[in-house]
Amino acid sequence: MQKIKVFIVSIVVFMVITSAAISAQSTEVVDNLLSSETAGFGDSVYMIAVGSGLADDDSVSVSEAVVLVNGKGWNVSQKSADQAISLGELSFIIMQALDIEGGIMYSLMPSPRYAVRELKFLDLITEEAHPDKTVSGGDVINILSEAINMKEAR
């Protein structure tokens, strides 16, 4: 129950921060994420694209969000929407979508590995920070909402 409460609070915070009117599309993605032990690449990228303002939730689908991010030239793994997203990929996309500055090694060699370490340093990742680790849908929402929070506060 505690985990469910945390997820719900995270979603509410996320909605308030982004001032996004939740569309049916977004609601479906959030439902998908909350029910998944292993977050999908498409749903995660969709949430990041909408949360960071790269896309309007009314105008893009999950697959379009994947194409949008893949076309950004961010050196992110080219994955299909139904593949699992790793913590490294999630962190790397969030860092670039929200324009979060990294450390010296991230500046020299931007990669999922150093993105994970940056988000861990910023306390956005509170548990094991391993780039190859798979993440749950709840983790995606938590990390993204915390990152948006931090960005707004700066």
Partner 1 sequence: MKGFRIVILILILVLAGTSQISALDVGGSVSSATSFSTSAGLANEEGVGLWLETGKSGPYSFKTKLDFIFSASDPGFYFNPDYLKLDALYEDLEYGPSVLATSLGRFRMSDFSGKIFSQKLDGFSINFSYPAVELRLSAGYTGLFFADTGSLLTTSPSTTMSKTDAAQKSNAADLFEALTDPAAAGRALFQSPRAVEIITLTLPQVLLRQSITLSFVAQEDMRPMFDILSGYSAVPAVLLQEGESIYYGDQGGAVDTQYIGAGVSGPLIDSLYHKVYYYFGTGRAMSYTTDASSATGSSYSYDTIISHLAGFSLDYYMSWLFNSKVGLAVSFSTGDADATTYFEGNTSGDYNQFLPITNGGGGIIFSPGISNIISGNLSFSAKPLENLDIPFVSSAQFVLNAMPFFRTVAGPVYVSGINPAYTGNYLGTEIDLTVNLRPFSDLGIITQLGYFLPEISAFTAADPIFMAKLNVSFSY
Q: Which residues of the chain form contacts with partner 1 (CB under 8 A)?
A: 102-106, 113-114, 117-118, 121-122, 128, 130-133
Cβ–Cβ < 8 Å for 87, 134? yes
Q: Which is nearer to partner 1, 43 or 118 (CB)?
A: 118
Cβ pair 41, 83 in contact under 8 A: yes
Closest CB to partner 1 among residues 131, 137: 131
- Determine contact, residues 129/117, Cβ cutoff 8 Å: yes
Select 21 or 123, whichever has its Cβ closest to partner 1: 123
3-state secondary structure of 153: helix
Min. distance of Cβ 119 from partner 1 in angstroms? 9
**CA dist 56 → 9, 19, 25, 68 (Å):** 22, 12, 11, 12
Shortest separation between residue 17's beta carbon and partner 1, angstroms: 22
Is 77 within 8 Å of 34 (Cβ atoms)? no
CB of 23 to partner 1, least distance (A): 36
Q: How far is the CB of 117 from partner 1 (least distance, A)?
A: 7
Q: Assign 86 to helix, strand or coil.
A: strand
Nearer to partner 1, 87 or 93 (CB): 87
